[in-house]
Amino acid sequence: GKLDIDEITVLKSISLEGKLPISVVNYVVKTRESVVLYNAVWKGIYTKDDYIQQQQAKSILCSPILHQGKLIGLLYLENNLMEGTFTQTRLKIVDMLSSQVAISLENSLLYQTLENKVEQRTTQLATANQKITSLNKRLKKENIRMGTELDVAKQLQHMVLPKEAELLEVNNLDIVGFMEPAEEVGGDYYEVLNHDGHIKIGIGDVTGHGLESGVIMLMVQTTVRALLLAGIDNPETFLNIVNRTIYHNTQRMGTDKNLTLSLLDYKNGTLQLTGQHEEVLLVRKGGKIEQIDTLELGFMVGVIDDIAKFTSQQELTLQPGDGIVLYTDGITEAQNIEEEQYSLERLCEVVSGNWSGDAKHVQQAVIADVKNYIGIQKILDDITLLVLKQL
């Protein structure tokens, strides 16, 4: 409706229930401030809004349309496919559009006759609608472009993961790997390379997840493969070169992302372990587990240029039936509905209780238990697991 000093005009109202997030709309109406939500369904004070939960809305922008300090409308944009869609650049476009819409709406009230008012209002609203449609088209094109980039990155990640046939070619080891990203593109890394009998095994976790973390994961994978083919044998030298490469690349990117990374060199039942990551589980034939702390074996990769003084290595010996379990914190820190973590202790119990089976059996038992523990909760972090057993 419209309230004036001498006149009250009541217009037909339209219920917003179920069509928009009421809590967001009410806040904008009350404060006259724009609301920009990076990931509405998971972050911020509006996560419990019924509409946001039902629609699984991610990016939301709600902006007041003001004229001379008076609220005359709202502009609402939503994207339920990607988070962080509405950047500062797009907010400026929306602000410009809102100002034009506000002026157009207010000017339509200045005409003397009803005929002129109706005609001008129709014209102004049509113009505003065209601009909104144009903005929506631009956003749609941008969403398609970003979706294509994510899809390409996702395909690249899966393409470079070790293939089952490659793992079967590794002599004297039964190896199985598993990775499931929390987003379309993950930041976890695992690798099993076999070059002229030199077996290089790696596991890592880039901070965060999403496209940027996924790109850094691909950088690590490419660097490790190139160094192995170049014949770099010393584990500590190998890790330091990987670190220097990632450090300089992230500096060029202008990002502060880094990663934990452990590398293992296997030969004839002996493993040389270097690099800082989660505790390595050394599992003996009967299922007894030794937890190997990697804190003193390396440093976060990509933080500083040279980590040589922080790196060292530890030798592990495997007898037939022994093995190694590598994982990322997406497993141990997975949360159930009460926000309790899965924990390293539970992981060890499941591994030990299923160690009599082959590597595939152990991997399936762990993943099934983790997902059963999480239940209907959304996976908050990438999940990666690598199981190997000495034959």
Q: How confident is the model at residue 180 (pLDDT cuts 50, 70, 90)?
A: confident
| Domain membership flag for residue 3 | no
My answer on whether 197 and 101 are in the same domain is no
Among the candidates 151, 170, 185, a domain finishes at 151
Q: Flag whether 7 is in a domain.
A: no
In the structure, what pLDDT confidence band is assigned to residue 93 with cuts at 50, 70 and 90?
A: confident
Task: Mean pLDDT check: name the lowest of 102-106, 241-245, 315-319.
Answer: 102-106
Query: 259-296 pLDDT, tens per residue?
Result: 999 999 999 999 999 999 999 999 999 999 999 999 99
101 plus 28 within the same structural domain: yes
Statement to judge: residues 145 and 199 lie in one domain:
no
Q: What is the DSSP string of 180-242?
A: E-SSSS--EEEEEEEETTEEEEEEEEESS-SHHHHHHHHHHHHHHHHHHHTT---HHHHHHHH
Strand order in the sheet with 280-283: 173-180, 383-390, 323-327, 280-283, 289-292
Residue 360: both structure tokens together: 């595939």
Position 38 in a domain: yes
pLDDT at 97: 76
User: Does 15 reside within a domain?
Assistant: no
pLDDT of residue 158: 62
Closest CA to 121 of 106, 133, 100, 99: 106
Quote the CA–CA distance of 251 and 76 in Å, as a whole number: 37
Q: Which CATH number goes with the domain that contains 169?
A: 3.60.40.10
Q: What is the pLDDT of residue 258?
A: 93
Over residues 184-212, the mean pLDDT reads 84
CA distance 239 to 131: 53
pLDDT above 50: residue 309:
yes
User: What's the confidence (pLDDT) of residue 330?
Assistant: 92
Per the structure, the count of domains in the chain is 2
Task: Kindly report, residue by residue over 218-260, the tens digit of the pLDDT.
Answer: 889 889 989 988 888 899 999 999 999 999 999 998 988 999 9
Does 367 share its domain with 232?
A: yes
Residues 166 and 147 in one domain: no
Residue 274, in any domain of the structure: yes
Residue 1, pLDDT score: 43
Q: Of 101, 120, 151, which residue constitutes the final position of a domain?
A: 151
Chain position carrying tokens 């809004």: 49
Is residue 10 situated within a structural domain?
no
CATH code (residue 28): 3.30.450
Task: Judge whether 13 lies within some domain.
Answer: no
In a shared domain, residues 72 and 169: no
Domain housing 75? 20-151
Task: Tell whether 14 is covered by a domain.
Answer: no
pLDDT tens profile 105-117: 666 555 445 555 5
Average per-residue pLDDT for the chain: 84
Residue 156 reports pLDDT greater than 80: no
Name the pLDDT band for 9 (thresholds 50, 70, 90): very low
Q: Which of 151, 179, 201 is the last residue of a domain?
A: 151
Do 246 and 353 reside in the same domain of the chain?
Answer: yes
